[in-house]
Structure 1
């Protein structure tokens, strides 16, 4: 067990001229990523450590680990969890205690999974998982796969320029996907069978006042109904109204990158996974708890 660290508060300016209260809950995270919150417990991946951890408000404990797995995201899946193993090209299903039950390393077309990255639950007990492809400008081979409740996998979208964070809309009809190397967010219509169609551009980050090279990473639906987009290119969360595609505000954290985030059940706390040093493994970073955002 990793004992809870000393918690301190910072005040960080925001694009809306508001101030946010920021507390560090893990000062020694190694490229934290892909979080979610359930029953007051924060679950998150540590890509640089190859593990999944949980924070109960007092202490950090390990749920799952596999050396060199590049664990990049975690979500509840049935009675257990679903984990994206980026470096080992594997989607892992576990039991409630975090013990591996099933590993998936190929899609329904027989191809290896290249860079399982982020996870978004559907409304039917399944999940969408982004397969990023190589972290470079070409080739463009990113995919989105759907994993059904029974572990059946199916490719539902192809040719995405580094598929990254993804989230299902509140009504369950739209899937938003960060196309990171194209510096934009795209959207799909979700069919009754989980299929995706009607691919469209949602927005490019430069239209929100970000530089052309701004790199969208994770994306989550906030308690206010807005989309919260984490940036790997900056320690910043962009808040966007999905109806108007307009910027609502920017939330900055004191780190070099803010790749992903999650919200408490009451919507009053936003947890941000952040990286301080992007120069090389294990990519030291922090996990923040932000209120008054």
Structure 2
């Protein structure tokens, strides 16, 4: 599958989210959350100095941003200001966020800071309810990365990069998680950001293997989009949600002063047959 470049010249680009006719994504290197239209025109909508820097949309149209640096979940107000939605607390590193159709936010984090050279320690998933209450709902994920919720709000899928698999949980009425299982063993695949489609297959971006792959439950590979640099995250959007957007950059390594080559970050896109569903 061939791709078209929508935007280029950025840094470590992550967390793509389709919303209201535009793609929103984060540039971790610049500490910016941006929006880009299908015409390639972009604008900065928020600045947060945090690494990682991930965001997701609530059902009421408000954007929530994970500020790992100070352990807070921030809400972007209509006037452009940022206010605290919830205090996440201190831990290794806060990472990705997904918000389901009920307005519940799931925020994950590693149990260590890989950029500081700390020894690996399993991470967790936390639930943040719409009123700002925070509680841990899953643990023992070696390195939690991208997350997605199926369209019926019944299943949360989490990418465990270090264990090369996707892990699934049943979502209870109160947002709690149970029924943990390996949804897909990816072999040598290293999943980062993910997106789910109408057939409940999952697209996952892969940095070391420079690709974005679509897998069915159990791990069968259905499609692959080859990239010329590391794939960090993906989203299904555009008209009818039939466009796959992938954020990609030239990966240098976790211990490097600049983890990606400056200016190598880009957003590419390609058409798909099965539209996106669920969240993000």
Q: TM-score, normalised by structure 2?
A: 0.85
Q: Secondary structure at the match of 1:266?
A: helix
Residue 96 of structure 1 is matched in structure 2 by 78
Unaligned runs of 5+ residues in structure 1 are: 1-18
Residue 226 of structure 1 is matched in structure 2 by 201
Residue 63 of structure 1 is matched in structure 2 by 45
Distance 1:71 1:182 in 2: 20
Residue 287 of structure 1 is matched in structure 2 by 267
Asked if the contact 1:53/1:64 (under 8 Å) is kept, the reply is yes
Distance 2:227 2:80 in 1: 31
Asked if the contact 1:36/1:262 (under 8 Å) is kept, the reply is yes
Asked if the contact 1:120/1:128 (under 8 Å) is kept, the reply is yes
Alpha-carbon distance change, 138 to 239 in structure 1, aligned in 2, over 3 angstroms:
same
> Does 1:152 pair with 2:152?
no
Distance 2:244 2:159 in 1: 20
For 1:266, which of 240, 245, 249 is the aligned residue? Answer: 240
Alpha-carbon distance change, 249 to 79 in structure 1, aligned in 2, over 3 angstroms:
closer
Residue 147 of structure 2 is matched in structure 1 by 166
Residue 25 of structure 2 is matched in structure 1 by 44
Alpha-carbon distance change, 169 to 50 in structure 1, aligned in 2, over 3 angstroms:
same
Alpha-carbon distance change, 203 to 137 in structure 1, aligned in 2, over 3 angstroms:
farther
Q: Secondary structure at the match of 2:162?
A: helix
Aligned length: 261
Residue 181 of structure 1 is matched in structure 2 by 162
Residue 276 of structure 2 is matched in structure 1 by none
Alpha-carbon distance change, 97 to 118 in structure 1, aligned in 2, over 3 angstroms:
farther
Distance 2:148 2:167 in 1: 11
Residue 128 of structure 1 is matched in structure 2 by 106
Distance 2:105 2:83 in 1: 17
Give, in angstroms, the shift of residue 51 of structure 1.
1.0
Higher mean displacement: 132-141 or 159-168: 132-141
Give, in angstroms, the shift of residue 199 of structure 1.
1.2
Give, in angstroms, the shift of residue 276 of structure 1.
1.4
Residue 12 of structure 1 is matched in structure 2 by none
> Does 1:276 pair with 2:250?
yes
**1:106-125 residue CA offsets vs partner (Å, 9 max, x unmatched):** 3xxxx514322111222211
Give, in angstroms, the shift of residue 88 of structure 1.
4.1
Asked if the contact 2:68/2:94 (under 8 Å) is kept, the reply is yes
